[in-house]
Chains A and B, each alone.
Chain A
Amino acid sequence: MLFLISIGLTLIFGIMRIVNFAHGALYMLGAYAGFTIAGWTGSYWLALVLAPLSVAAIGIVLEAVALRPLYRREHGAFLLVTFGLALVIGEAIRLGWGPDPRRLPIPPVLAGSLTILGAPFPTYRLFLAVTGAVVAVALWQFLARTRLGLLIRATSQNAEMVHALGVDVQVVRAGVFGLGCGLAALGGVMATPLVSAHLGMGVNVVVDAFVIVIIGGMGSFGGSIVGSLLVGLVQTFGNFYLPDLALAAIYLAMIAVLVLRPRGLFGLEE
């Protein structure tokens, strides 16, 4: 689940060199939107599809309005603006939906648990993991094999060349940003049955997502995978053996990685 969010973040950072602080807020937005859509339509599955799409659309609008003027400026500005966006989105959610948490029930087909290798696993969590894996593979193939994917990767390397070739770089950027937002929202919708949509979920998640992306290396796809696995492991074992240290553990890990390998484990050149 955290993985989906980090993938989106990596995408946005790797391709657009934007540090999207608002990612957590968008995740939260996805959660709330999913809740509402499910309420209107009565279907979890519809919410799963529509919420990410609508958040992606919002993301595209945001990119056009708030981020476009910044491409010509230095990178620090992105950090600040996306932070501001995170605040604004968070507040807007609070005003729109109120302070109470909203829970979405697990659709009956995914409830219960499956037994794998003799151990029971909650079906829903399996569903999350599987979806994460599917999305990862699909994205990877998309970027590596398709023409559009090639275009996106080319834009991240040398936007001017791509522009010279007659492609509208702005559209590519907007699309990638929207995709990243949509992924975050997808994570949000899928999270609601587990943790319920509540204020502050964006805050908790964005820092963790950044830790994952930093550890894995910004801009590196495989890095995000490794990163989220690592963080998941650290958190699980930490909680088990040294619960007091668990909270601090991932930050220590991030510091260690950044100090030893400032580009992350698999990071690309900045």
Chain B
Amino acid sequence: MRAAVRALLLVATAVVPLVLPTFLVTALTEMMILGLFAMSLDLLVGYTGLDSFGHAAVYGFGAYSAALLLLHTGVSLPVAILGGAVFTAAIAVPMAWLCTRATGVAFAMLTLAFAQLLYAVAYKWQSVTGGSDGLAGVPRTAGPLGMSWFTSRIGYFYLAAGCLIAAYVFCRAFVASAVGTTLLAIRENERKAQALGYNPRAYKILVFVLSAFLGGLAGALYAPFAGFASPDLFFWVLSGQVLIMVVVGGAGTLSGPILGAAFFLALEHYLSVFTDSWALVLGLVFIAVVLFAPQGLWGMVRGHAVP
């Protein structure tokens, strides 16, 4: 059954951009990018139990890295995107090392602090980051291997879809692996996991960096997609929004957060046509979900991440 659904989705993904109007293709591309971003956070929140309030940090960093690569060097689009993800993972190592020194609320606040710090840097370091205006005119540089096809709107859809699908497949495998299942143990009872011989900090750092890679990938996809990178990509509001996507979608399910991202964007774009207060509705839905359906919408359908 699940295989059939997945096959159907793959076919749909292949066909969709060819038949739908362009504005929908663009919207779906954005949904996939945000879905990747949300899924990366799920590894931290849903599987390891680490509530990060600063995930925008990796998104913004990925976006700026890719943007700078595309603006100042001649590398092609796929290289820049990959580069963005790699750089983000690199900076995540010291971040992870520092943040995992704390747990619970202190951890959440540390992640927030880092994100705000990056926001401040992006805002002020005008020479490099363009200050409050950010970097505009990010090109989608075609590469030498005839990859210019990716630069078109439809091509970009496939690029984003490809990244999301690859990331999803990897994450599915990861959470079933020895390391992935250990994360669940840490989430359930860190003290016990440690008593069993697992070093919780090492695992937390590992999943943090992995999550940063994927989140940075999403950010790196975003910059050429939108054509710009701005300090808002680091702001805590975005960190909160992606957290909402994960929780409302269903933490610990991988697919839930992707749906959560889609739900969020749908609300933002379509509800705002009808009413000025879509954010209010979103906030209320969020609170309701946390109070009454903590496993999220998808979690209600499928059941929490329990092997």
Say if A and B assemble together.
yes
Cross-chain contact B51 with A91 (CB below 8 angstroms): no
Partner of A83, one of B102, B117, B240: B240
Tell which of B121, B243, B283, B286 has the most Cβ of chain A within 10 Å. B283
Complex Cα gap A218–B276 (Å): 37
What's the interface size class on A, roughly? 35 or more
A190 in the interface (beta carbon within 8 A)? no
A87 at the interface (CB under 8 A from B): yes
Complex Cα distance, B240 from A255, in Å, reads 20
Contacts of B10 in A (CB 8 A): none
> Do A88 and B280 touch (CB < 8 A)?
yes
Chain B positions 62-107 with a Cβ under 8 Å from a chain A Cβ: 98, 101-102, 104-106
B280, A79: Cβ atoms closer than 8 Å? no
Tell me if B106 and A262 are in contact (CB < 8 A): yes
Interchain CB contact under 8 A, A87 and B116: no
B120 on the A face (CB < 8 A): yes
Residues in chain B near residue A90, CB distance under 8 A: 279
* A91 touching B243 in the complex, CB below 8 Å, given contacts A79-B108, A84-B286, A255-B113: no
Q: Taking the nearest CB of chain B, how far is it from the CB of A212, in angstroms?
A: 11
Tell whether, in the assembled complex, residue A258 and residue B102 are in contact, meaning their CB atoms are under 8 Å apart.
Answer: yes
In the complex, the chain A residue whose C-beta lies closest to that of B237 is: A203
**Which residues of chain B are near A80, meaning CB under 8 Å?**
51, 243, 247, 286, 290
Q: Please state if A247 and B109 are interface contacts (CB–CB under 8 Å).
A: no
B106 to chain A, nearest CB (A): 5
Best-surrounded residue of A76, A79, A247 (most CB of chain B within 10 A): A76
Structural contact, B109 and A87, CB atoms closer than 8 A: no
Q: How far is the CA of A270 from the CA of B107 in the complex (A)?
A: 13
State A255–B114 Cα separation when bound (angstroms).
8
Q: Hey, which chain B residues are within 8 Å of A244, CB to CB?
A: 124-125
B168 interface residue per 8 A CB criterion = no
CB pair B117–A255 under 8 Å, yes or no, is: yes
Closest partner residue, chain A, to B285 (CB atom)? A84
Docked CA distance A27–B113 (Å): 21
Is the pair A270, B104 in contact by a Cβ cutoff of 8 Å? yes
Selected from B49, B108, B116, B280, the residue in CB contact (under 8 A) with A207 is: B116
Tell me if B53 is interfacial: C-beta within 8 Å of chain A: yes
Q: Contacts A80-B247, A247-B120, A247-B123: A255 and B110 contacting too (C-beta < 8 A)? A: yes
Q: Are B106 and A214 in contact (CB under 8 A)?
A: yes
Q: Is the CB of A88 within 8 A of B106?
A: no
Known A84-B287, A87-B286, A251-B120; judge A210-B104 contact (CB<8 A): no
Flag if A262 contacts B287 (CB, 8 Å): no
- Residue of A with least CB distance to B235: A203
Cα–Cα distance between A218 and B102 once the two chains are bound (Å) = 14
Q: Which residues of A contact B123 (CB under 8 A)?
A: 247
B120→A84 contact, CB < 8 A = no
Among residues 212 to 270 in chain A, which have CB atoms less than 8 Å away from a CB atom of chain B? 214, 218, 244-245, 247-248, 251-252, 254-255, 258-259, 262-263, 270
Interface: B19 (CB within 8 A): no
Query: Contacts A79-B51, A248-B117 given; 19 further ones with Cβ under 8 A?
Result: A69-B291, A70-B291, A76-B104, A77-B294, A79-B53, A79-B108, A80-B51, A80-B243, A81-B290, A85-B287, A88-B280, A207-B236, A214-B109, A251-B117, A255-B117, A258-B102, A259-B101, A259-B102, A259-B110
Which A residues are closer than 8 A to B by beta carbons?
19, 66, 69-70, 73, 75-77, 79-81, 83-85, 87-88, 90-92, 95, 203, 207, 210-211, 214, 218, 244-245, 247-248, 251-252, 254-255, 258-259, 262-263, 270
24 A-B contacts (beta carbon < 8 Å): A75-B105, A76-B104, A80-B286, A80-B290, A81-B287, A81-B291, A84-B244, A84-B287, A85-B287, A87-B280, A91-B277, A95-B276, A207-B112, A210-B109, A210-B112, A211-B113, A248-B121, A251-B114, A254-B109, A255-B110, A255-B114, A255-B117, A258-B113, A263-B106
Chain B residues proximal to chain A, CB less than 8 Å = 49, 51, 53, 98, 101-102, 104-106, 108-110, 112-114, 116-117, 120-121, 123-125, 236-237, 240, 243-244, 247, 276-277, 279-280, 282-284, 286-287, 290-291, 294
